[in-house]
């Protein structure tokens, strides 16, 4: 309640409240920015830009607009400030990085492929439908764990921190999900009339991987490598990559 009152006072332009706010949170905000940006200059810039938004330098219809006005007190003010800081960082620096990366990639001669169209293979459609069904059957937490661990490449500790559980819990959950999903997808495909062997092979090989591999092979690979060898090399590379992040 006190934090909410302070935030409201700051949003209303109370200088004394703002003084109090700076006294309490200035250093914390900078430390959070430093942890996010991992660079001192970027952290200071990030923190200073947030101060301006919190104070309300911008106006709308003649009234000062302060970001602190959006604080509703559901969480702590310090945590809210970190979240806002992280949002600012993601919005600003990801855009900047994308732009930078795009320019860099163009200079390096990278080719940007068009959006891949899903193959119309019946096997893949059955596989996809079974996969979607099994993913939909998972809880939101399980899907979050899979996404954070496999897609984001987060460590088990980071995922555990996000969910507020112990690392061993995430480890057991990931292992359990990996085993159960495979079995359930194969079972689902078998119910649709697909042979078990075929289902397992389909699960192992993604046709889209073949397409990507062909493109890469055509653009970069040496002429000596066969299609299968390139496919195997790429599959191995992609399997190793997530493990390296752990």
Partner 1 sequence: MQDVPKIVLNRLQETAGAEAHPDADLLTAFAEQSLGESERTGVMAHLAGCKDCREIVTLALPASEAAAVSASASAARTGWLGWSVLRWSVALAGIIAIASFGIVQYRQRQKSESFGSNLTARNEPAATAVQSFPQSPAPSKSQSVILPAQNDKQAAKEKRPPPRGGWQPDSTDYFSSTQQAHQANRATPAAGVIHGAASGGVAGGNFALGAGSGAPVAPKAAPPSPSNTPTIVGDLKNATPEETAKLEPSLRRGQVAGAPSSAQTVEVAPQSAGVTATAESQATDQIIENQKEQVSQYQSSATLGVVEAQGAATMSNLELATPRWSINTEGGLQRSFDGGKTWVEVNPDLVASRTGNAHNFPWKKKAEVQGSPHPVFRAVSAAGTEVWAGGSAAMLYHSVDSGLHWARVVPSESGAVLTGEITSVEFSDSQHGRIATSASEVWITANDGKTWRRQ
Contacts of 182 (CB under 8 A, 6+ apart): 203
70 binds partner 1 (CB under 8 A): yes
Task: Judge whether 25 and 33 are in contact, CB under 8 Å.
Answer: no
> If binding is defined by CB under 8 A, does position 71 make contact with partner 1?
yes
**Given the complex with partner 1, which of 22 and 165 has the nearer CB atom?**
165
Two structure tokens written together for 31: 């430390």
Structural tokens at position 53: 């938004």
Q: Binding to partner 1 by residue 115, rule CB under 8 A?
A: no
Compute the residue count for the chain: 246
**CA atoms 8, 11, 16, 18: torsion sign:** positive
Q: Is 203 in the site for partner 1 (CB under 8 A)?
A: yes
Q: Is 151 in the site for partner 1 (CB under 8 A)?
A: yes
The phi, psi pair for 159, rounded to 5°, reads -65, -40
Nearer to partner 1, 161 or 191 (CB): 161
**Listed residue (31, 28, 161, 43) closest to 92, CA to CA:** 43
Shortest distance, position 63 Cβ to partner 1, whole Å: 21
> Considering the rule CB under 8 A, would residue 76 count as an interface residue with partner 1?
yes
79 near partner 1, rule: CB under 8 A: yes
Among 206, 212, 221, 234, binds partner 1 (CB under 8 A): 206
Spatial separation of the C-alpha atoms in residues 56 and 34, rounded to whole Å: 23
In the complex with partner 1, which residue's Cβ is closer, 20 or 203? 203
Q: Are 56 and 66 in contact (CB under 8 A)?
A: yes
- Taking CB under 8 A as the rule, which mask of x and - marks residues 80-99 in contact with partner 1? x-xxxxxx-xx---x-----
Residues 16, 63, 140, 222: which binds partner 1 (CB under 8 A)?
140
Q: Which of 121, 125, 220, 246: binder of partner 1 (CB under 8 A)?
A: 246
Q: Please provide residue 148's backbone torsions phi and psi, each rounded to the nearest 5 degrees.
A: -65, -40
Map residue 65 onto helix, strand or coil. Answer: strand
Give the total of residues touching partner 1 (CB under 8 A): 69
CA distance 35 to 83: 12
Positions touching partner 1 (CB under 8 A) are 31-32, 35-36, 70-76, 78-80, 82-87, 89-90, 94, 127-128, 131-132, 134-135, 139-141, 143-144, 146-148, 150-152, 154, 157-158, 160-162, 164-167, 171, 174-175, 177-179, 181-182, 185, 203-204, 206, 208-209, 238-239, 242-243, 246
């Amino acid at each position: 309640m006190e934090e909410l009152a302070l935030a409201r006072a700051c949003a209303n332009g109370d200088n004394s409240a703002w003084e109090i706010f700076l006294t309490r949170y200035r250093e914390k905000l900078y430390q959070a920015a430093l942890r996010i940006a991992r660079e001192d200059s970027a952290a200071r810039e990030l923190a200073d830009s947030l101060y301006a938004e919190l104070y309300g330098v911008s106006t709308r219809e003649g009234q000062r607009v302060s970001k602190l006005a959006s604080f509703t007190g559901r969480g702590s003010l310090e945590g809210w400030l970190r979240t806002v800081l992280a949002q600012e960082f993601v919005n600003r620096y990801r855009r900047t990085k994308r732009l930078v990366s795009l320019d860099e990639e163009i200079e390096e001669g990278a080719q940007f492929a068009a959006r891949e169209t899903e193959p119309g293979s019946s096997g893949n459609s059955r596989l996809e439908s079974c996969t979607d069904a099994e993913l939909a059957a998972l809880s939101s937490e399980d899907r979050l764990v899979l996404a954070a661990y496999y897609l984001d490449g987060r460590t088990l500790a980071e995922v555990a921190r996000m969910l507020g559980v112990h690392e061993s819990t995430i480890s057991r959950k990931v292992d359990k999900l990996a085993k159960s999903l495979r079995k359930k997808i194969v079972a689902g495909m078998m119910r649709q009339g697909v042979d078990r062997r075929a289902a397992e092979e389909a699960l192992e090989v993604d046709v889209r991987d073949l397409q990507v591999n062909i493109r890469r092979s055509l653009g970069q690979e040496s002429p000596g490598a066969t299609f299968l060898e390139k496919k195997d090399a790429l599959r191995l590379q992609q399997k190793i990559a997530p493990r390296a992040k752990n």
